[in-house]
């Protein structure tokens, strides 16, 4: 058994006794008062209580000030600078950047006949009431071979600036992406007794679609930043290290996460300088990604419209990839966070699913335990149009209500509690 598996199984025992959270009942944008009280004798409970809805919303709002933060633009670079400044303001003293190149191949010219067919299809889509840049979702296929059932609506990426009615935001998002150097920011809480081992907590800061990328993925990035703030408190001591990473280039194919794996995997567990007790890249024990955390309004209606209010059975989806080389370890990590949710989350339950896909934990899934937290199942639900704001001009801070923001906050509670247990977090007097 690997050391990381041993750590996880020992920690599972610590969560054997759990308290079920209150069921989320969203009436408008108001949720019932949380029923889980702070246990001052339990450092995990105290740390979870330091998460605050207003702060979480403010962090999301801060990211949306940079528009969609599309990679390869000044607004993306400005957002990276802002994230670094925020991390430093939290007390993160070891903020670093990973630099890599992103030079996509030039698009292959289409034959004239194919271009005409594509234009005709786009015009037909627009005439039917959809955006010309969108495509029918089709029957999404899960990693296990199952197909989504029920009502499906169009999904795709909006590339039409005129579908954004806000002239200020349209102007902010107008600069096109250019190839070249990219950067992403991370900082590390260094473990006191096992600085050579760490868990990675991630979210991607770039977006597309001519909106503000509030849900995809300011909502996940804000979770990473809020956890960095809480764990960076000098009074918080952990046995193992935790790295907080804000990935770039997720929307182009997980390129930021792939660059991290390519550059850093071979450096794991190497003490530098020798005898210093410092490990620039501790051994990876697990990776936890957060991507689209807030919109769980259910399946589209029969006419393709969506309900305005959050569905009563809204929950946090914790996914692992059952076909990965580390499926067993990833499932254990997923169920461990499920237990943390049951004991420490205030409003929403969690469910575990075996079909993680299209997210920054993917490049890690054959190397270590890797999971993803989401608002919906990525393959069968998001892919079927359960989130109509995905990659659309409507992915705005103003689109979401407090019930939606609280779903993201409960995901933060889930990860914070689980990781705090895994690294044996304590509060020094």
For residue range 272-287, list pLDDT tens digits in order.
999 999 999 999 999 9
Q: Are 191 and 236 in contact (CB under 8 A)?
A: no
Q: pLDDT per residue over 15-48, tens digit each? A: 543 333 334 433 344 445 455 688 889 999 999 9
Note the pLDDT of residue 112. Answer: 58
The rounded percent of the chain whose pLDDT value lies above 90 is: 76
Q: pLDDT-based confidence at 9, cuts 50/70/90?
A: low
Structure tokens at 319: 């996914």
Note the pLDDT of residue 149. Answer: 56
User: Is the alpha carbon torsion for 42, 46, 48, 49 positive or negative?
Assistant: positive
Weakest mean pLDDT among 221-230, 235-244, 374-383: 374-383
CA proximity to 228, closest of 248, 249, 203, 207: 203
Q: E strands of 44-110, at which residues?
A: 96-102
Note the pLDDT of residue 221. Answer: 98
Residue 385 in 3-state DSSP?
coil
Weakest mean pLDDT among 4-13, 265-274, 383-392, 419-428: 4-13
Note the pLDDT of residue 379. Answer: 85
Q: pLDDT per residue over 116-131, tens digit each? A: 444 344 333 333 333 3
Residue range 177-199: average pLDDT? 98
The three-point CA angle 298-309-297 to 5° equals 15
Alpha carbon distances (Å) from 55 to 61, 225, 271, 299, 406: 10, 10, 37, 30, 12
What DSSP string runs through 190-220? Answer: --SSEEEEEEEEEEE----SSS--IIIIIHH
Note the pLDDT of residue 380. Answer: 87
**270 pLDDT above the threshold of 60:** yes
Q: pLDDT per residue over 45-103, tens digit each? A: 999 999 999 999 999 999 999 999 999 999 999 999 999 999 999 999 899 999 999 99
In terms of Cβ atoms closer than 10 Å to its own Cβ (0-12, 13-18, 19+), residue 13 is exposed
Instruction: Name the residue with higher pLDDT: 418 or 30.
Output: 418
Residue range 142-157: average pLDDT? 60
CA 124 to chain centre: 34
CA proximity to 294, closest of 33, 23, 29: 29
**180 pLDDT above the threshold of 70:** yes
371: which strand partners? 288
Note the pLDDT of residue 38. Answer: 86
Q: Are 38 and 414 in contact (CB under 8 A)?
A: no
> What is the rounded end-to-end Cα distance, in angstroms, of the chain?
36
Note the pLDDT of residue 311. Answer: 94
Stated pTM of the model: 0.86
**144 pLDDT above the threshold of 60:** no
Residue range 165-185: average pLDDT? 98
Q: Are 221 and 400 in contact (CB under 8 A)?
A: no
C-alpha span between 377 and 350 (Å, rounded):
12
C-alpha span between 395 and 54 (Å, rounded):
19
Q: Are 382 and 299 in contact (CB under 8 A)?
A: no
User: Over the chain, what is the mean pLDDT?
Assistant: 87
Q: pLDDT per residue over 297-321, tens digit each? A: 999 998 888 999 999 999 999 999 9
The three-point CA angle 56-289-419 to 5° equals 75
Note the pLDDT of residue 340. Answer: 98
Q: pLDDT per residue over 359-369, tens digit each? A: 999 999 999 99
Note the pLDDT of residue 378. Answer: 87
C-alpha span between 51 and 363 (Å, rounded):
29
Q: Are 349 and 341 in contact (CB under 8 A)?
A: yes
Instruction: Name the residue with higher pLDDT: 29 or 175.
Output: 175
Residue range 231-247: average pLDDT? 98
Domains, in order of start, for the chain: 3-102+155-427 (3.40.630.10)
């Amino acid at each position: 058994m690997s050391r990381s598996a041993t750590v996880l199984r020992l920690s599972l025992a610590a969560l054997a006794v759990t308290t079920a959270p209150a069921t989320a009942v969203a009436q408008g944008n108001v949720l019932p008062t949380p029923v889980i009280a702070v246990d001052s004798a339990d450092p995990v409970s105290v740390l979870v209580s330091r998460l605050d809805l207003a702060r979480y919303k403010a962090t999301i709002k801060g990211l949306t000030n940079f528009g969609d933060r599309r990679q390869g633009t000044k607004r993306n670079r400005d957002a990276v600078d802002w994230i670094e400044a925020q991390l430093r303001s939290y007390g993160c003293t070891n903020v670093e950047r990973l630099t890599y190149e992103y030079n996509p191949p030039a698009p292959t010219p289409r034959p004239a006949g194919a271009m005409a067919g594509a234009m005709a299809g786009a015009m037909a889509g627009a005439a039917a009431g959809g955006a010309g840049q969108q495509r029918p979702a089709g029957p999404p296929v899960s990693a296990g071979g199952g197909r989504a059932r029920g009502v499906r609506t169009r999904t795709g990426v909006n590339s039409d600036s005129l579908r954004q009615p806000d002239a200020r935001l349209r102007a902010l998002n107008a600069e096109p992406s250019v190839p070249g150097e990219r950067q992403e920011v991370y900082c590390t809480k260094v473990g006191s007794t096992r600085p050579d081992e760490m868990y990675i907590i991630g979210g991607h800061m770039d977006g597309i679609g001519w909106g503000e990328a509030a849900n995809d993925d300011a909502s996940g990035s804000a979770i990473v930043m809020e956890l960095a703030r809480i764990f960076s408190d000098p009074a918080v001591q952990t046995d193992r290290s935790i790295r907080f990473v804000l990935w770039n280039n997720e929307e182009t194919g997980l390129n930021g996460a792939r660059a991290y794996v390519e550059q850093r995997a071979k450096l794991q567990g190497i003490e530098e300088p020798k005898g210093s007790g410092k490990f620039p890249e501790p051994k990876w024990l697990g990776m936890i990604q957060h991507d689209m955390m807030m919109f769980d309004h259910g399946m589209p209606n029969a006419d393709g419209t969506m309900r305005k209010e959050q569905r009563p059975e809204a929950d946090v989806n914790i996914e692992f990839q059952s076909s990965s080389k580390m499926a067993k370890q990833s499932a254990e990590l997923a169920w461990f966070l499920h237990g943390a949710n049951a004991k420490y989350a205030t409003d929403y339950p969690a469910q575990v699913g075996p079909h993680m896909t299209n997210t920054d934990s993917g490049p890690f899934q054959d190397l270590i335990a890797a999971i993803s937290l989401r608002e919906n199942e990525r393959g069968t639900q998001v892919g079927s149009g359960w989130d109509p704001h995905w990659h659309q001009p409507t992915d705005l801070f103003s689109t979401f209500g407090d019930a939606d923001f609280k779903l993201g906050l409960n995901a933060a509670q889930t990860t914070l509690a689980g990781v705090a247990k895994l690294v044996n977090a304590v509060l020094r007097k």
